[in-house]
Structure 1
Amino acid sequence: MTSVSRVLVAVLWLSGLALAQGPSAPAPVIKNGVSFVMAQDLVKVSVQNGVRVEEFIQSPRAVQSGDILREEVTVRNVKGKAIAGVTVGIPIPRETVFSGGVTPDSGRWTVAYSVDGGRTYSPEPMRGVTVTENGKAVTRQQAAPPESYTSVRWTVTELRKDETLRLGFRVRVK
């Protein structure tokens, strides 16, 4: 295993939902021996023979309010040896709201969320809420609702030689 190295990727999307670039495969970004490929798929749900079935439409050309999108990054170790401490951060695209479906903690990585544009992360972000008690304004910390999340971050303990991981979450179009 290599000495602890930190790899951070913030896969930045263009503003708005001009995110889809057509059906061509996105080019990987390679940083510190790790290849990152971001994908966005439209999630279509149907019922077939009484069973809920999901279909994924890659890089949709257009989306509508209420549509669910899967944001996913494929992370691959191309360094030729194990890499410790890989951090993968993905901002939640503008004009969408976090709706869950995050690749959960696995024992090999942890998941944290940001409500301040990626400046700070926590497994359960808090936010201040001001209430009036005995005629005085008091600010208390409470769990931020998932709809207020602005970024998702995974911290992978070790990315093994030639290993590929798929990390993602879902958003709803506003």
Structure 2
Amino acid sequence: MKPLTPTVLLSLLGVALAQGTSPLTLDYSQSLVRTVTVDGKSSEQRTPNYVKVRPGDLLAQTVVARNVSSRTLKNIVVRLPVPTGMVYQGPDGGTQTGVRTEYSIDGGKTYAASPTKKVTVTENGKSVTKDVEAKPNEYQAVRWLISEMKAGSEMKVSFRAQVK
């Protein structure tokens, strides 16, 4: 499989360029995540900038947002698509204060904390359309809403995805 970095970087650059000369820089990285056992203890091993992916590999998709301005930035939005050929597996790390995470199941057109989709089921012999919560493996993009970043600060947002 070819490296996934260029496509994602273009997506991120589009976000930054849309803002003009941005006081915010976005740096993307991808790391292979493996569980290794040494002396009976399991731990995670990360290989940064890993590009020779194989089916089943677990990768951390990470964006570091940096406020390079001299003022506090508010209401920052960082979007990252789940790369083609990969399936969203969950967050990579804990929840950060002041950050809300939302997901898209329609290629980034709409986002929600728990996206829903319409399905038709049969109840009592009748077809009924219902909204049901999408499963994480259906997520196609992730968006982080950062309420505030102080001047000179940085914040890391990340998720894990598995190669199909």
TM-score class, shorter-chain normalisation, is: 0.7 to 0.9
Whole-angstrom distance in 2 between the partners of 1:114 and 1:47? 35
Matching residue within 26, 34, 37 for 1:47 = 37
Q: For the structure 1 residues 127 and 95, does the alpha-carbon distance in structure 2 shift closer, same or farther, using more than 3 Å as the test? A: same
Q: Is the 8 A contact 1:97 1:148 kept in 2?
A: yes
Matched-pair identity in %: 31
Unaligned ranges ≥5, structure 1: 1-15
Matched, 1:92 2:77: no
Whole-angstrom distance in 2 between the partners of 1:87 and 1:104? 18
Aligned residues: 154
Unaligned ranges ≥5, structure 2: none
Residues 13-72 of structure 1, C-alpha deviation per residue, up to 9 Å, x if partnerless?
Answer: xxx753157xxxx8x955520000000111121012222211111122311111100000
Whole-angstrom distance in 1 between the partners of 2:100 and 2:68? 22
Q: Is the 8 A contact 2:2 2:51 kept in 1?
A: no
CA shift for structure 1 position 80: 1.4
TM-score, length-scaled by structure 2 = 0.86
Matched, 1:142 2:127: no
Whole-angstrom distance in 1 between the partners of 2:73 and 2:51? 36
Q: Partner amino acid for 1:171?
A: A
Whole-angstrom distance in 1 between the partners of 2:91 and 2:138? 15
Whole-angstrom distance in 2 between the partners of 1:103 and 1:93? 19
Whole-angstrom distance in 2 between the partners of 1:33 and 1:18? 29
Structure 1 match to 2:110:
120
Structure 2 match to 1:19:
4
The answer to which of 99-108 and 79-88 deviates more is 99-108
Q: Is the 8 A contact 1:69 1:170 kept in 2?
A: yes
Whole-angstrom distance in 1 between the partners of 2:97 and 2:30? 26
Structure 2 match to 1:161:
151
Whole-angstrom distance in 2 between the partners of 1:56 and 1:64? 15
TM-score, length-scaled by structure 1 = 0.81
Task: Specify which structure has the higher proportion of helix.
Answer: 2
Q: Is the 8 A contact 2:60 2:159 kept in 1?
A: yes
Q: Is the 8 A contact 1:17 1:94 kept in 2?
A: no
